[in-house]
Amino acid sequence: MQTPLQPVKRGGVYHLRLHVPADLWQLMGRTQIWRSLRTGDLRIARQRARATWDAARAYFHHVRTRGLNMDRSQLDALARRYLSARFDQAEQWLAETTDEVARDVQGDRLGERGDLVTAALTYGDYSSTLDRARGLLPDADELTHAKLARRLLEAELEAIKAECRALSGEPLVFPSLVATAPAAVGEEPKETPRLSEVLAAYVEEHVREKKWNPKTRAQRETHGEEIVELLGDPRVGDVTKADMRALAQTIARLPSNPTKKWPGKTLTEVLELTKDGTVVDIRAPRSLNTSLQLVRSLFAWAVLQDMIPKSPAVVLGYHDEGDPMDKRYPLTDADIRALLAHIGDERAPYWWWIPRLLAYSGMRLSEAVQLRREDVHDMEGIQVFSLNTEGGRRLKNHQSRRIVPVHPRLIALGWIDYVQARPEGFLWPSPPRDENPKHGPGDYLSKRLNTWLRAAGVTDPKKVAAHSFRHRLKQDLEDAEVPMPLINAICGWKTSGTGSTVYGGETKRGRERMLKALSNVELPI
């Protein structure tokens, strides 16, 4: 068999096609296997292709030479392998499929299959996976086949649950099916790495695979170092659910900006100083949730790396962040006039255009900053913004990728003429930023706009330029009785059901509905 080491890019992610040896076709029920290399970088994909190929050869050899019977740990390992393959299939499908109707159909299909698998497990009917179990272990006895058949059903059910959660917008998390068997009597337990070592490896992988930008990396490292300090840098295998519950209570007491308020003090020392009831500003729920999510992700990653059998962080919950709309107030006409008058007409082009784009498009500031010339174009007679992730750009979530018509007022102000006069690439000549890796161009522009907003006389702390423009647009659309799914499609907010399919800008009818809705928005600009 030839070595297929040429990755194939599908849905923005490289995959490797593995040809199953002919003598294993019947046993495995397939002639080829597609494996996600989990990266969009060709250089990294080629490196992983070799490792994936070597692993596949070892697996094929293992299937050929399997013994008569398998003990519980071997059965569990085989079930996990099956689960891993099923998980990769789900990951590939989710990466390639963005059509909302197809995802809804897939959700219905998974629900039906999940009901069947649950019923089979309830009544002990393993007939649907028994043939596969016999194919994987042709020389084993019927009891072993039945045990493996049940584990394959359990693995499939866990994979179905994970994919259903992913379809609803949650991360696609690899489920831990079973715990590793305990060490034999007299055998030394496996020594696991320190939490700081796991954190370093976790960060290194995310940076290598370009999953984080410099800002995100700096934030995660800061939160991670705090977690390591609060737990005392134990070995990950020694951390218990009780430790996680205690950590959750400690995180809830964390003050905001401790290094600025108590310079030279460690986080542990700060908590000791404030435990007597000293009044401090506690971190916002969103910041606390970021720390808790990092803990969950870190221990889940340790499970994937076979460092620990299961994650103790499953007991961690979330802090209620409240309604986002309660955190920011929309700008009034007077606020908008004051801000634009303060900015004036003599500043750099992005200072003139970005406030107007935010006001009339519903874009986030980070989306406006990343606009390229090719993102503004004509689609069947309607000028649109195409918000996408091409060229390595990042969006907040799946719903953020969208097509939105250009408001007629922006066209009247000369927006299309400005775009056409720009060279290829980003519309702005590299907006300024400071040296802090935690701050991107969007953060700098947000700070500058808010400074000008306050200087213009808008002092309400719940009015923040970028967010308040979005909320003003939402308010005006609601006042015009625009359906909420259509508002969500315009602004890139999460919606349920088939709203984005009906109202999204991917279809001409959807773009016409969006344009009609946006035309209701009239601002003093």
The candidate with the shortest Cα–Cα distance to 517, out of 482, 473, 476, 470, is 482
> Could you tell me whether strands 13-19 and 8-10 are parallel, antiparallel, or unpaired per DSSP bridges?
antiparallel
Assess contact for 76 and 178: CB atoms under 8 A.
yes
Assess contact for 458 and 340: CB atoms under 8 A.
no
Look at residue 499 in the predicted model and tell me its pLDDT.
42
Map 230-259 to HEC letters: HHCCCEHHHCCHHHHHHHHHHHCCCECCHH
* Token couple for 44: 């990294």
Distances 92 to 15, 170, 289, 422, 485 between C-alpha atoms, Å: 9, 16, 28, 37, 28
- List the domains of the chain with CATH numbers: 8-167 (no CATH), 196-322 (1.10.150), 326-518 (1.10.443.10)
Assess contact for 28 and 72: CB atoms under 8 A.
no
* Token couple for 202: 């976790």
Look at residue 58 in the predicted model and tell me its pLDDT.
56
Look at residue 329 in the predicted model and tell me its pLDDT.
86
The candidate with the shortest Cα–Cα distance to 508, out of 412, 394, 379, is 379
Quick one: CA dihedral 473, 475, 481, 482, positive or negative? positive
Tens digit of pLDDT at every position of the chain (525 positions): 344 567 887 666 777 777 767 665 655 555 667 777 767 778 777 766 766 676 666 556 555 555 334 454 554 555 455 555 555 555 555 555 555 556 666 666 766 777 777 777 777 788 888 887 777 677 677 877 787 788 778 777 776 776 666 655 555 554 444 333 344 444 444 578 889 989 988 988 888 877 777 778 888 888 999 999 889 889 999 999 889 988 988 888 888 888 888 888 888 888 888 776 666 778 888 888 889 989 999 998 998 888 898 899 988 887 766 655 556 789 999 999 999 999 998 788 888 999 999 999 989 888 898 899 999 999 999 999 999 888 777 777 777 889 999 999 999 999 999 999 999 888 887 655 656 655 666 777 888 899 999 999 999 988 988 889 999 999 999 988 888 888 988 988 765 444 444 567 788 888 999 999 999 999 998
Alpha helices in 274-362 (DSSP H): 285-304, 333-343, 349-361
- What residues pair up with 387 in beta bridges, in sequence order? 402
CA 386 to the chain's CA centroid: 21
- Gap between the Cα atoms of 47 and 463, Å rounded: 49
pTM of the predicted structure, to 2 decimals: 0.48
Phi-psi region of 381 (alpha: psi -120 to 50; beta: other; left: phi over 0): left
